[in-house]
A and B are shown apart, each in its own frame.
Chain A
C-alpha cells in the first residue's frame, strides 16, 4: 500500500522528474494518467508525485491541460459528460480511479477552490463555512458548529473581518474576502489535499497578496496543489513546480518537467521549460 519512494520512479515516456528529498511519502502519486474528453485525448501520460505538506505549482501556457489535470485529481473532471481517464491516481496509496470508488468519497478528502469565488449566494457566511460539514456530519451542535466556523475562518485569515457579521449573505463580501470564505469552506472539512485552480486570477493585487500569505500558512497543515498562469506567483509560493506544455492546437497537453521551484526557475533541464520561464513564449 505504500507508494513508491521518490527515487524509484517508474520510467516515463515523457517528462523528467528530479528530486533530492529523502523519502517523505507523497500524498498523491500519479501514474501514466491520460485524460480524455470523450474520444479526445486532452492530457497525455502524466507521471508525478505531490509531496506532503507543501505547495506544488502547475504552470504552463493556456490550453496545456494543467487545469484539466488538476480537476482529475479530485475527479471533478467527470462532471463533464463522457469525460474519463486512463491510469492511476493514488491518494495515500489508494487508487481513486478504481471502478468501485465513488467520486463523492474522493471529494470529501480532496478539496477544491475555484478561479472565481463561489460562495452560495442564498447562505450566510456562517452557513457557507459549514456547507461541507453539513453534508458529512449527522447533527452539528451549536457549540461545535461555532467552533468549526471560527477555526476555519481563522485558518483562512478571515475571522477578524467577518466575526461580527456572520449572518450576512456570503455574497456581501468583497472578491478577495469571498475567495477566503471559499477557502474556509474547503478547509472546514479538513481535507488531506487542497486543490486551487488559479485562485487569484479574478482578484486584485492586494487580495492576491493576502491569499498568497494565507497559502504560506496553510501549507503547514495541508498539501496544496495550485494551478497558476502567473509564473512569479509560482516562484513566490511553491516548493515544487511542474511545467505542462502543449505541442500544438489539437494536441494533448503533457508534463515536461517537474522539480524544486528554485531549480525550475534558475536552471531547468528542458529547453522548453527554460524558454517558458524566461518568457520566450506562453
Chain B
C-alpha cells in the first residue's frame, strides 16, 4: 500500500546509485549528516539532564553555604529544608496509601468485572483524569473537598480519635489540612497507578486464566491465582511512579495546604509542614537575593529525592517480575 510512495522514490534513486556504488563510500554525506544529527539530539538529552543537576547545584550552592544573614529567617540550610522534606514525604505517602488500594480495585474492576464496552469508556475517562491540570484540582480541592471534610469528618475525628497523634490538635474549620491535601493528591495520582495496573491485568495470559477456571475456580479465585501474581510487580512500579508524581506535585498543595514552620504530625489541623515544591511556589515570586538561591537548593533536594524514588521503582519493576520464568 505504500509502494507508490517509495517505489516512485526508489526508481528515481536506484539508477544513479547503482552506477556510483562502485565509486562512492558506503555512507553518503546526507546519510552521515542525518545520523550525526540524530546522535547529537540523543546526546543533547544527556546534556540536558546533567545540566539540570549542574545548574541547580551551581546556583543553589550559595543558598546552602552562603551567608545566613542575607536570608530571611535564621535557620541554616538543613534546618530550613528538614521540615520541608518531612512535609513532602508525609503528603506523598498519605496520597499513596489512599490511592493505591483504590487504584488496584478500579483497575481490576475495569479489566475483569466491567462489561467490555463500558470498560473502554472507563479507561478513557481515567486517562483523561490524569491530564487535568493540577491547578484545577487545587481550586476544586479547596472549594469542595476542604469544606466538606471540615464540616463532616474533622470534628468527628477530632472528638473520637484524638488519642491517635494523627488526629490530635484542634480540627481545622477551613479544611486546609494535610488530610485534605493528601486526599486531593491521591485523586491526582490515582489515574497513573490505575492505568499501569489495568494494562498489566489485561495482559494476563488467557492460558493461565483458563487453567484456573478449568480447575473450578470462581472469578475472584482465578484473579487471585492467575491475575494478581502476574501483575504484582506492575502494580508496584505503577505505585512508585505515582509516588514520584506526588512528591513533585506543587499547585494543589500550594492552594490547599495552610503551611507552618516545623514538623507537624496531625493531619486535621491548620498547622502543617509544607512541601518543598509548594514552598517554592509560594515564596519564589516575591523572593530576592540569597533567598532565591536557597529555594533553588531545596529544588535540588527535591530533584534528588524523586530521582531516588524513580531508580527504586525501576529496580523493583525489573527484578520483581517473577511471572516470566518460563
Contacts and interface: CB of A to CB of B under 8 A. Distances in A.
Q: Is A in direct contact with B (CB under 8 Å) within the complex? A: yes
Interface of A: 74, 76, 79, 81, 104-109, 111-112, 114, 116, 118-123, 131-132, 135-136, 169-172, 178, 182, 185-186, 189
A104 B324 contact: no
B58 to A, nearest CB: 48
B4 interface: no
A172 B216 contact: no
Given A81-B116, A121-B324, A122-B323, A135 B207 contact: no
Most buried by B among A112, A119, A135: A135
A120 B214 contact: no
Q: Per DSSP, are chain A's interface residues mostly helix, strand or loop, or mixed?
A: helix
A74 B214 contact: yes
Contacts of A108: 215-216
B55 to A, nearest CB: 45
Contacts, number: 81
Contacts of B212: 120, 131
A79 B213 contact: yes
Interface in B20-47: none
Given A107-B213, A182-B211, A121 B326 contact: yes
Contact of A122 (B214, B221, B230): B230
A116 B325 contact: no
A79 B214 CA distance: 10
Contacts of B185: none
Which 3 A-B residue pairings sit nearest by Cβ, starting from the closest? Answer: A171-B326, A108-B216, A132-B215
Contacts of B323: 121-122
B210 A136 contact: no
A118 B211 contact: yes
B208 interface: yes
A107 B216 contact: yes
Given A120-B225, A172-B326, A114 B216 contact: no
Contact of A121 (B208, B210, B214): B208
Interface in B176-206: 205
Most buried by B among A114, A118, A182, A185: A118
Interface string B101-139: 000000000000000100000000000000000000000
B216 A120 contact: no
Interface in B287-326: 322-326
Contact of B214 (A76, A136, A171): A76
A136 B325 CA distance: 27
A43 to B, nearest CB: 19
Interface in B213-257: 213-218, 221, 225-226, 229-230
Nearest to A173: B326
Interface string B49-88: 0000000000000000000000000000000000000000
Given A107-B213, A114-B210, A135-B217, A120 B325 contact: no
Contacts of A81: 116
Given A120-B229, A121-B208, A122-B229, A171 B325 contact: yes
A182 B221 CA distance: 18
B207 A118 contact: yes
B119 to A, nearest CB: 12
Contacts of B230: 121-122
A65 B220 CA distance: 30
Given A121-B322, A172-B325, A172-B326, A116 B216 contact: no
A169 B324 CA distance: 11
Contact of B211 (A109, A114, A171): A114
Contacts of B226: 120
Given A81-B116, A118-B208, A120-B208, A135 B326 contact: no
Contacts of B325: 121, 169, 171-172
A114 B214 contact: yes
A134 B324 CA distance: 23
26 contacts: A74-B214, A76-B214, A104-B216, A106-B216, A107-B213, A107-B215, A107-B217, A111-B214, A114-B210, A116-B207, A118-B208, A119-B326, A120-B212, A121-B229, A121-B322, A122-B323, A123-B229, A131-B212, A131-B215, A132-B215, A135-B225, A136-B216, A169-B325, A171-B326, A178-B326, A185-B211
